[in-house]
Chain A
């Protein structure tokens, strides 16, 4: 390697000043940038439009590359699957057997439920989606889990609307642009979803871990009631997410709750639906309140 030029610009006053000015600009700019970053963490919608404008530029490329390559499902997943194939196979077989048994039990319950609902003349809550789209791409270099949705304000998508796939909850709309919108995924560290256990309605909160898993904490810390295989669905507590959307399955117990894996993997899901946010107005507009056994006792987060 050639010895670099010495940084001192010699006797020339002009060169010395311009070097000094470059450093002054750099330091001021760096400090201002960091302050701006901290401000935009506190107020995340402040610069959302600026970022959405830049994503409108990349979205066409992402659309084309998606149609050419198809969606690359999680690389980390496929590597992990090879490593733990044997034990996973055993576990899946036992889970399958257990699920079959439960399915039989559930089908009888469903039939009973249908008859009871027919008796009560309850209508199904409005489950129609506002719009359907697909996930184009995501921020894969940052620790923030934001995906880009292929539809925006042109189809009525607005900030705060829940997004779900066929298998379960994906996340919520963070901000929407003219033709694309940002979705904060379920697994982001800042995303908290009020859930309940499908089996008995035990209320809990699901926190994103940022690496594809969820932390589930119950409100009652004294005993840890979770078992691997427990299914968690949204409880509807606190609004935003409509109740009874599948969220996650418990993988293993932890000291202060459980580790759960989302049922809908955003890397593999094909189409997603944007739903109406679940607000108290919507709840009152329903013909009859949804039957909450001991379940809806969860406090607001």
Chain B
């Protein structure tokens, strides 16, 4: 009875926790903006779900299969207000890009991670805005998302730290 409660030497972390924590953080972060009582006049909040998605992939490239953007992107599309399929496509292309970059750059450092995340956020948010407003002037649509891209790029290190904390929790041995 005593043995069951106490952690055993060499026991691996809970398999369920290892799998659920990353997916749950991304899903909660995607749904969070729609739970805040904030009626915004412009895209003011950074794309929280996308930030966690990219940070997990940059931290643990091998953790998820490359198609994980399909279900997680669909979940994000349900809450983000974008037409359904936008994040499904763009997030999956982003994870393919991250897998490719991890083959190219073996010793990826913090600055590499930051640069890759910022670049991917800029591309994804711009393309998403262009997909939503196909008939509006391109320059104006891009001007709409530039502040959001800048804020998101500056927030990447913070989200890296948060992801690291969650990763420690994920792998903690009881």
Majority SS at the chain B contact face: helix
CB distance from A84 to the nearest CB of B (A): 16
CB distance from B37 to the nearest CB of A (A): 4
From B61, B65, B106, A22 is in contact (CB under 8 Å) with B65
Q: Let me know if A37 and B38 touch, CB within 8 A.
A: no
Q: Let me know if B33 and A141 touch, CB within 8 A.
A: yes
The contact string, 1 if C-beta is below 8 Å from chain A, for chain B 30-47, is: 010111111111111111
Q: Which of B78-101 contact A (CB under 8 A)?
A: 78-90, 92-93, 95-96, 99
Q: Let me know if B82 and A142 touch, CB within 8 A.
A: yes
Identify the closest chain B residue to A72 (Cβ): B38
| Tally of A-B Cβ pairs under 8 angstroms | 222
CB distance from A91 to the nearest CB of B (A): 20
CB distance from B144 to the nearest CB of A (A): 5
Q: Let me know if B144 and A211 touch, CB within 8 A.
A: yes
Q: Let me know if A62 and B34 touch, CB within 8 A.
A: yes
Q: Let me know if B85 and A23 touch, CB within 8 A.
A: no
Chain B residues near A38: list those with CB within 8 A: 83, 85, 131, 134
Choose, from B4-12, B15-23, B66-74, the stretch at the interface. B66-74
Choose, from A26-34, A96-104, A231-239, A279-287, the stretch at the interface. A26-34
B102 within 8 A of A: yes
Known A33-B70, A189-B141; judge A47-B84 contact (CB<8 A). yes
Query: What are 21 residue pairs bridging A and B, where the CB atoms are less than 8 Å apart in the complex?
Result: A1-B108, A1-B109, A7-B102, A25-B67, A26-B66, A26-B69, A27-B96, A32-B85, A37-B82, A37-B131, A40-B84, A41-B83, A41-B132, A47-B84, A65-B37, A136-B37, A140-B44, A143-B132, A145-B41, A146-B81, A212-B42
Known: A69-B36, A141-B33. 5 other contacts (CB 8 A): A33-B73, A75-B38, A142-B128, A143-B141, A210-B136
The 4 residue pairs across chains A and B that have the minimum distance between CB atoms: A33-B88, A139-B81, A36-B85, A212-B41
